[in-house]
Amino acid sequence: MVKIPLQYNEIIFLKGKSGTVGVAKFAKNGQIFIGTPDEDEIVIFLESKDIIAVSSLKDSPHSEDGIKSLIFLLRDVGTPLVVLPSDHPTSKRLPMVASCGETVRLDCNITPGTHPEQDILCAGNDLSGVEIKAIEGGLEINGYLNEFKKEKF
């Protein structure tokens, strides 16, 4: 376990060979709406210390910019998350997926974009099993041994 200080105006990138995960604080008290396959809408209420994690499922030069853009859309614009049915063909084409809450667990054995539960996020093999927990003033990360990158956001 490692504790990493993270301010509300910062983002951290966890790098793997098969993708990147970016994590930022939600930075306010608010909510995110989630559209589900059964036509229900779930509302998740978040506190400022909670996190938004975005997983880029491909290693690309634009991954970090895409991650920052999706966090901006969710946190600052209010774009809802959309959950696909488990057999939906589009899930194979998703370049990024997101999760938010107090704790997010990365898993390579799930279908991207099909889980309304916000404590699990699809990620590449080498990031699978990593757990990211929001703590006051930062993050607690279990299972990640590589270097990370932190920058202003």
More confident residue, 137 or 86: 137
> What would the pLDDT profile of 8-31 be if each residue is shown by its tens digit?
999 999 998 889 999 999 999 999
* Mean predicted confidence (pLDDT) in 109-120: 89
pTM value is 0.94
Predicted local confidence at residue 63, as pLDDT: 94
Asked if the model's pLDDT at residue 116 lies above 90, the reply is no
Write out the residue range of the structural domain in which residue 127 sits.
Answer: 2-152
Q: How many folded domains does the chain comprise?
A: 1
Burial class (CB in 10 A: 0-12, 13-18, 19+), 146: exposed
Radius of gyration of the chain (CA): 14
96 pLDDT tier (thresholds 50, 70, 90)? very high
Predicted local confidence at residue 101, as pLDDT: 96
> What would the pLDDT profile of 41-70 be if each residue is shown by its tens digit?
999 999 999 999 999 988 888 999 999 999
Q: Taking Cα atoms as reference points, which of 7, 94, 92 lies closest to residue 54?
A: 94
